[in-house]
Amino acid sequence: MKLKLLLLSFLLALPAHSARGDTPGQNFLIQCSACHAVDHKLVGPSLVEISGIYGKDPDGFLRWCMKPGKKRPDTIEMPSMAHVGEPALKEIYGYILSAAAGKTEQAVADNSAALENNRRPRVQRIFMPDASPAAIAVALPGDLSFCFDAGDCRLRYVWKGGFIDALDHYKGNGNALAKLKGDVLYREGEFPLSGGSTVSSTPKFLGYSMSEGIPIFRYLRDGVEYSEKITPLPDGSGIQREFTTKGSTALILKPAGKGAVAAASTGEGPIQTNSFTLTYRWK
Ligand code: HEC
């Protein structure tokens, strides 16, 4: 599968969204997207199917989310979403209807692939292809995963499908590489930003912390301390990378990744803010 990367938007000067639910779709992403996709069955029915059932029945939708029943024989029982709270569920309801509008249900050929996606975000230190030995594999909610190289302190690639098959790795002598269970959508040739001290030094990994099951990586490059959080876009069509930097250095977005991050639509000037988001979308 050869897919083309489009840099649809390069959003500067956006505060990093750290609080939950401050972007449309964020609540859905965190609470529901592990099991529900827009136009095809995942673990639960698609948003197209859900808006068909509850499009005119917000109360019924709320009742189901607070206390789900058992309807479909071929899948698990949905856990109650009462902890999400009514205001957020109402926001999610609105998001579901707008995300499903104009879409039609797509068949899923192999349901086991869909069930494989019933996953919480996962973070695994493992030997990965095309990365230094200090690779970290991350399964995002939905069907995207990525490899972060803690040796070189950068995103290496993003793939779509299942997570990793680590069996060879554990069966073998510990040197075998994990196999990706999916297709690579994007490979990054080099770190996309430059700036900081002119004497470039070896990047230094400072560790990661977890936020809503998703890792936030911290690392030092050329004297600039970065933190980076990679999340899927709510509709699963790409990723966004939220960067926060320490210090007052202006950064430059490179035409990185073999031209993948081409033509930042907001022009060429240096990035003057300490928190900004790069959005990558695949068609
Ligand atoms: C762990 C997986 C999982 C999560 C997380 C999850 N669901 Fe579900 N959902 C399911 C499954 C499975 C079904 C189908 C259950 C059945 O038919 O018995 C379902 C069905 C539904 C339905 C259809 C009910 C009907 O009457 O047919 C709605 C609406 C729904 N989910 C909303 C949500 C919302 C909103 C969230 C997030 C706040 C959410 N779900 C999170 C698994 C999940």
At 215, the amino acid letter reads P
Distances (CA, A) of 26 to 48, 115, 209: 18, 22, 19
Q: How much is the pLDDT for 20?
A: 42
Q: How much is the pLDDT for 258?
A: 34
Q: How much is the pLDDT for 175?
A: 56
Q: How much is the pLDDT for 35?
A: 78
44: which 2 tokens? Answer: 């639960």
Q: How much is the pLDDT for 268?
A: 54
Ligand 1 mean position, distance from CA 164 (Å):
26
- Ligand 1 atom 28 nearest Cα: 50
174: which 2 tokens? Answer: 């510990």
Q: Is any ligand 1 atom within 6 A of the Cβ of residue 204?
A: no
245: which 2 tokens? Answer: 């930097």
How many CA atoms lie within 13 Å of 235's alpha carbon, on the beta-carbon side? Answer: 17
Q: Is any ligand 1 atom within 6 A of the Cβ of residue 75?
A: yes
| Per-residue pLDDT tens digits for 8-52 | 233 322 333 333 445 677 788 777 887 788 988 877 899 999 999
Q: Is any ligand 1 atom within 6 A of the Cβ of residue 61?
A: yes
Ligand 1 mean position, distance from CA 44 (Å):
5
With beta carbons less than 8 A apart as the criterion, state whether 23 and 32 touch.
no
Residue 98 CA to residue 48 CA, distance in Å, equals 10
Give the largest CA-CA distance in the chain: 62
Q: How much is the pLDDT for 116?
A: 47
Q: How much is the pLDDT for 4?
A: 32
Q: How much is the pLDDT for 112?
A: 46
Query: How do the pLDDT tens digits run along the chain, 283 residues long?
Result: 333 333 323 332 233 333 344 567 778 877 788 778 898 887 789 999 999 999 999 999 999 999 999 998 877 788 888 988 999 999 999 999 999 999 999 886 544 444 444 455 677 777 788 888 788 889 998 889 999 999 899 999 999 988 887 555 555 555 567 788 889 988 888 888 887 776 667 899 998 888 877 899 999 998 889 999 999 988 888 888 888 888 767 787 776 533 344 333 334 567 777 888 888 887 6
Distances (CA, A) of 191 to 194, 205, 253, 261: 8, 14, 9, 11
Q: How much is the pLDDT for 127?
A: 77
Q: Is any ligand 1 atom within 6 A of the Cβ of residue 136?
A: no
The number of the ligand 1 atom at minimal distance from the alpha carbon of 70 is 18
Q: Is any ligand 1 atom within 6 A of the Cβ of residue 125?
A: no
Residue 46 CA to residue 32 CA, distance in Å, equals 11
- Ligand 1 atom 32 nearest Cα: 65
Q: Is any ligand 1 atom within 6 A of the Cβ of residue 78?
A: yes
Distances (CA, A) of 219 to 139, 195, 214, 216, 224: 20, 14, 16, 10, 8
In this structure, what are the phi and psi dihedrals at residue 19, rounded to the nearest 5 degrees?
-65, 150
Residue among 87, 116, 134, 99 nearest 233 (CA): 99
Q: Is any ligand 1 atom within 6 A of the Cβ of residue 192?
A: no
With beta carbons less than 8 A apart as the criterion, state whether 97 and 37 touch.
no
